[in-house]
Structures are given as C-alpha cells and as structure tokens.
Amino acid sequence: MRNRNTTEGLRHHNRALVLQSLRRIGPSSHTEIAEVSALASGTVSVITAELFEEGALLKQEQPPSKGRGRPRVLLTLNPEFARLAFIHIISGEVEYSLINYNNVLLDRFKVLRHGSETDAAAFGTQVRRDLFRLAERSGLAPHDIAHISIATKGLVGGGGTKLMWSPVFGDSQIDFQALLRPDWAGKVTVNNETCFSAHAKLEEAGRFARHHAVLSLGDSIGLGIASRDRNGQTTYQAPPFGHMLHMPDGPLCRCGVQGCIEAYSGFYGILRSAFDAPADHIPAKFIPKDQMDQLASKARQGDQMIRFAFRQAADVLAMGLSRLMTIHGPMPVTIAGPGLSYFDLMEEQFKMHLEKNLRIRVSHMPQISIETNERRLIFASNTKVSLAAFDGDCVATRLVDRPKSA
C-alpha cells in the first residue's frame, strides 16, 4: 500500500478487499462480494470492472438458473493471470510445484536428495536448475513466475529471504533471494514449513481464534506459531524450538550446545537415552522410521528403559511448551510429523506439565490435537499465503489508466 493517507490508497485497500473476498468465498457474484467486503455495491462494480479490464478477473457463465430474476454473473480469478512456484525442501527430497492465479496445481515433480548432500552452494545451484526445469515444462519463461515461495525446516531470517541455520546445512546460510535474483523477476520468500501448518490450523479454527501452534516431531523438532493481531491480520513465526534450552549441561545437541530440547526429544535423542548411550554421542542425522517404530513397540510391550526415553522426550517437549505459553499465553497445539506415531507414549506428560503453568491455571487448558497429513497442510497454506501477498502487493495496485476527460 503506497500512500496510506490519500484517496488512491483507499482504493488500493478496497481493491485488495475485493480480491480477498473472492479468494475466501470462491467464484461469487457481485452482490456476494459487496456483502462479504462490506463495500457499497457501486464500489464493487467499479473495482471488479477495473480488475476485469486488467485481466485479473473473468466473468463466468452463470450456472443453470434457479429462481426468477436476472441471473447472477459469477466472477472468478483468471487462472492465466499469473503463475506462482513453490519449493518444499524435505529431508529426502525437494518438491517443486507450480500453480496458477486461481490456485490450481499445474505441475509438480520431486527431486531426490542424497543423504550426504550438505553442501549449501551445490544445493543452491541445483535448486536454480530444477526451478528452470519447472518453468520450462510448462513453457514459461522465468519472468512469467510472479512469486517463488520456499518452505523448509530450519531457522529463517533476513526478512523472510534467508535460511540462517538448518539441520542439514548447519551454519551454511543460503540467501535464496540473492540466489534467484539474477534470473527470476518475481518476489522470493522463504519460510519455515511449520509456519504454514500453524497458519492453516489457525484459519481452520475460525475467525475468533487468536493463536495456534503446530509442533512437528521427527529427527528434528519444528514449531510454528500463527497469531491474529487486533486488526485481524494473521502473522506467523517459527522459532527454533528444538534448540531452545531445556537444561544446562544436558545431552549434546546436533547444533553443538548441550541441553537443547531436540537433544532429548528428537529421534536421535530418544534413541540415545533408550540405549543409554553417552550423552555426547550423536547417533545419526536421520534415524530410519523402522528403527523408531521398533523402539516404540518395545516400549509399548513394557520395556522400562525405552518407555522412559519416550516419556522423557515428552516431558521435555511439554516443559518447552509450558515455557512458550508463559510467554504467549495458552494456545491450542497440534502435534504433527513422523514422531506423531509415538504420541500415545507421550500424551499424558503433556497435560501433566501444562496444567502447572500459571497462565493456564488462571485461564484454561489448551486443546491438544493431532494432524496426520502435515504436508498437505503446508502446501495448501503456502499457496494461500503467497497468493494473498501477491494480491496485496501487486494486483491491488492500479494498472489501467484512468479514463481521461477529453
């Protein structure tokens, strides 16, 4: 929004409002948009006409009419108006997706990664190559892609453009914006994947939910928090929860210090304490899921040592959540990730620790739920967020010339 205090700024705001309504309620008539956006019908008329002129909207044939009167003309977002690319960096693979302006998946492929690949620069050039392939496969030039949004594990910084630290590349930072700038005209953003999970869950929870956290369990620990501020705007963050201090001089973490939450509750942490391995020994970067499953089934059969390892993992996570809620207040938490399979071994610890928390005692016990398909959630939310950003930044800005008086 360029100039907030001028009438043009007002129009910008209202154009954004129209687009936003259209995304939320899908193809809809004039009247519906006016209702949802709380704009006068005349205003909606002018704005939609502009957007149609600019190519952002299409008028859709009305569905077989029901009832009498003039049938409604459905307005939809023009799929051809723009394309957005998405990269999801997962442990074993990188997923590339392309969508159109109306949020329909156009193309998708995955590139496997060698477990040994920890060279950030090499990874960067690989990503550039694969992104070119994504564009080419749909016959697009780089400048046809309006926005590239990357979801990854790890700590993101630099205003949402840099990967500052990650379990795979460690301190080797990757500045994706700089990496892609030379060829790709669109905006480039990077976010921790759990930001998107949390965002999706908050939206799901309805317009009055204020916060939601998603805790993703696996080789490493991810946490995303989505919040709605008092203007109704949603913000999100993904603090490196797995590397929050649990206890000084605790077991060694992959990040190099002792006593991080992950060192207790990441897969390798659980494995280590299950076998009573030395606390400064880090087993492996990735623990096969099979191995963890076997461990869990022994715990379920009553193996005390292993049972203890899972319970300790849960204790530490729960205390971390308690500390988080001391700062942010109680909020619902959704558990996700491969470690979710072992949630039955950990569930009761959560309640136990949380109910001691002062803020929870004076208000309420937050709901703890689970989510089995986090990946779907991440993609769905990433597209939503990116499209909304593109709408607000670009589409809402007036393009066509105003009708001259002549």
Partner DNA sequence: AGCCTTTTTTTCGAGACTCGAATTGACTTG
Partner DNA sequence: CAAGTCAATTCGAGTCTCGAAAAAAAGGCT
CB distance 334 to 197 below 8 Å: yes
DSSP-derived secondary structure letter, 31: H
Q: Which does 402 bind (CB under 5 to 8 A by kind): a copy of itself, DNA, none?
A: DNA
Q: Which does 91 bind (CB under 5 to 8 A by kind): a copy of itself, DNA, none?
A: none
Closer of 113 and 328 to a copy of itself (Cβ): 328
Closer of 73 and 358 to DNA (Cβ): 73
Give the residue among 257, 95, 250 at the shortest CA–CA distance from 171. Answer: 257
Q: Which does 46 bind (CB under 5 to 8 A by kind): DNA, a copy of itself, none?
A: DNA
Q: How far is CA 174 from CA 129, 146, 237, in A?
A: 16, 21, 19
Give the whole-angstrom CA distance, residue 300 versus residue 364: 31
Q: Which does 165 bind (CB under 5 to 8 A by kind): a copy of itself, DNA, none?
A: a copy of itself
At residue 37, what are phi and psi to the nearest 5 degrees?
A: -90, -10
Pairing of strands 174-175, 162-165: antiparallel
Give the residue among 143, 140, 145, 149 at the shortest CA–CA distance from 176. Answer: 149
Closer of 111 and 247 to a copy of itself (Cβ): 247
Strand partners, 88: 95, 151
Q: Which does 240 bind (CB under 5 to 8 A by kind): a copy of itself, DNA, none?
A: a copy of itself
Strand partners, 99: 84, 105
Closer of 134 and 331 to a copy of itself (Cβ): 331
Closer of 105 and 358 to a copy of itself (Cβ): 358
Strand partners, 165: 155
CB distance 144 to 135 below 8 Å: yes
| Distance of closest approach, residue 78 Cβ to DNA, in angstroms | 15
Closer of 39 and 270 to DNA (Cβ): 39
CB distance 21 to 36 below 8 Å: yes
Helix axes 7-25, 374-390, angle to 10 degrees: 150
Closer of 3 and 367 to DNA (Cβ): 3
List interacting residues with a copy of itself (CB under 8 A): 3-7, 9-10, 13-14, 17, 37-39, 155, 157, 164-165, 171, 173, 229, 235, 239-241, 243-245, 247-248, 255, 257, 260, 315, 319, 322-324, 326-329, 353, 356-359, 362-363
Give the residue among 207, 219, 230, 204 at the shortest CA–CA distance from 284. Answer: 219
Q: Which does 170 bind (CB under 5 to 8 A by kind): DNA, a copy of itself, none?
A: none
List interacting residues with DNA (CB under 7 A): 3, 5-8, 10-11, 14, 29-31, 38-43, 45-49, 62, 65, 67-73, 398, 402, 405
| Distance of closest approach, residue 327 Cβ to a copy of itself, in angstroms | 4
Q: Which does 328 bind (CB under 5 to 8 A by kind): a copy of itself, DNA, none?
A: a copy of itself
